[in-house]
Amino acid sequence: MKLLKSRESLTLVAVLAAMFGLAVLVWTVWNNLPSVSLTAAANTRPARETRQAQTATAAAQNTITARQTRRARRTPTVNTVQNAETPSTQTTRTLPTFTRDPRTPTPDLGTPEIAGTAIAESPTPWPTSTSLPSLPQEKRIGFWVENLSFGDTVSFGENLNDPIGPVDWSPDGKYLAISQWDGDWINDEKGNPAWEVTWITLVSPDGKTAKPLVRGFMPRWSPDGKWIAYLAYEDRMLPLHIRMVNVETLQVTEIATLFGGLFPLPDWLSEHEIFYYDNQPLVFDTIDSATKALFDETQLAQFKSAVPLRYVTAQSELGLFALASQKDIYLFQRNGETKLIRHISDGINDQHWAISRDGELLVYTSAANRIIKIASITDEKRIIELPPSGRGDPIFQGWSPDEKSFLYRDVSGVWEINRDGSGRRLISEIAREPFPFSASWSPQGDQIIVNSMEGEFTAVPVTVK
């Protein structure tokens, strides 16, 4: 009995010793940990946000400094502008020099659409840059990547007053249509500066002369080169106007007046028809100045799940056009009546997309996975997917003059690639901000005009071997 009690006492002593040792270990570790108070932990996020704000402010200041330095090197010019709103008068307007505020508020573009699903068709594997092209070299005549040489990037349009946004070449290649800020602001409903006053301006191919036409932005040439469709804001930024201007007479025609909703993206469906979206796909006919629905109610019912179908691209000579949302793409044939010829279960990411002039290919940036796809219109099983660059969403920028290749851009710069997906080549590298906003190949094929988010234009000379 005494032995049993002795064993129980030893066990109790051992347990107490173990507990004491554990307590000492915990105390030692605790005293050697870095001293971090709850207050300091709570301040970590604000401190991080403060550092980020300081970094952003410094970056913005560097952008302003770079812009002012670039402008200081320019020789300022004064442009006179005919008052296109009242063409019968000969009132002139002087465009002043200015310093643009990079903190321009971005307008409300509406509620984003839900991204669609991936294309169901089996994609064609991406050809590597070292593989042999599918077309024999001796048959690659024209603007294939292998046949081109690019000169050194040079400055373009030194005397332009802060051009903004994309450019659009006239069909004959005699002019570029751009938007150019004149230094004034449009106020919002509270009277605060909210949008830059820009003028649709024609620029010569050498960038040396500029002719402002009318207030507006987002210029789009008609296929016959007679008109430019564009967007315009008046005071208070409401409503938004879709207009067109006659390049020769400066006659301005009001197409639509829109209040709220998604930002419209008007474009030419044919030589005399302008497409835009306002609750449904609409067409303005320049011949009779009438607006009509593109589809009747029965046809429109087929696309209810895909709306808003606000993106358009067309090849009017072939009677082909395509409409898209961020969920679906529909291809149509117009031969007296409009007939649906193909549906692609994928949406597009922005308005930069195009049908090739031969009606064989459709190139777009997928809303589902943010990569560029080359879809065959005639062969539903053939879709080439370009590999992601890993540096921002790639954006299609347009075909070469003979449409053997096309341009796209990302934050790395501007790329050229063959229409079969081979031969990708970086032709204008942007190693720092500002990254390229758009790139446009001249119809003559002798140069590619690149403009940055900052409004700096450059030209890349092109030579066909």
Domain that holds residue 147: 123-464
Check residue 391 and give its pLDDT.
Answer: 64
pLDDT at 389: 63
Residue 369 falls inside a structural domain: yes
pLDDT at 404: 95
With respect to residue 19, please indicate whether it lies within any of the assigned structural domains. Answer: no
> In the prediction, which pLDDT does 29 show?
42
| Residues composing the chain | 465
Output the domain CATH number for residue 158: 2.130.10.10
What's the gap between Cα 201 and its chain centre? 20
Q: What is the mean pLDDT of each run of 10 residues along the chain (465 residues)?
A: 45 58 54 39 38 39 42 37 34 36 38 33 40 64 92 85 83 94 82 86 93 93 95 82 95 90 81 90 93 88 78 92 92 88 89 93 92 90 80 87 93 88 82 65 94 82 92
Question: Is 115 a member of any domain?
Answer: no
| Within-domain flag for 286 | yes
In a domain, 187, yes or no: yes
Answer whether residue 223 is part of any domain. Answer: yes
Q: Does any domain span residue 289?
A: yes
Rounded Cα distance between 71 and 368, Å, is: 40
pLDDT of residue 181: 86
Contacts of 65 (CB under 8 A, 6+ apart): none
Quick check: is 276 in a domain? yes
Question: pLDDT at position 84, please?
Answer: 35
Query: With left for phi above 0 and alpha for psi between -120 and 50, is residue 165 left, alpha or beta?
Result: left
Vertex 381: Cα angle to 375 and 385 (nearest 5): 45
What total of structural domains would you count in the chain? 1
Residue 401 DSSP symbol: T
Which DSSP string do the residues of 385-396 spell out, in sequence order? EPPP-SSS--EE
Torsion from C-alpha of 372, 393, 356, 229, nearest 10 degrees: 160
**pLDDT at residue 357, rounded to an integer:** 93
User: What is the 3-state composition of the chain as percent helix, strand, coil, each rounded to the nearest 5?
Assistant: 20, 40, 45
- C-alpha R_g of the chain: 30
Q: How far apart are CA 171 and CA 226, in angstroms?
A: 10
The predicted pLDDT at position 25 comes to 55
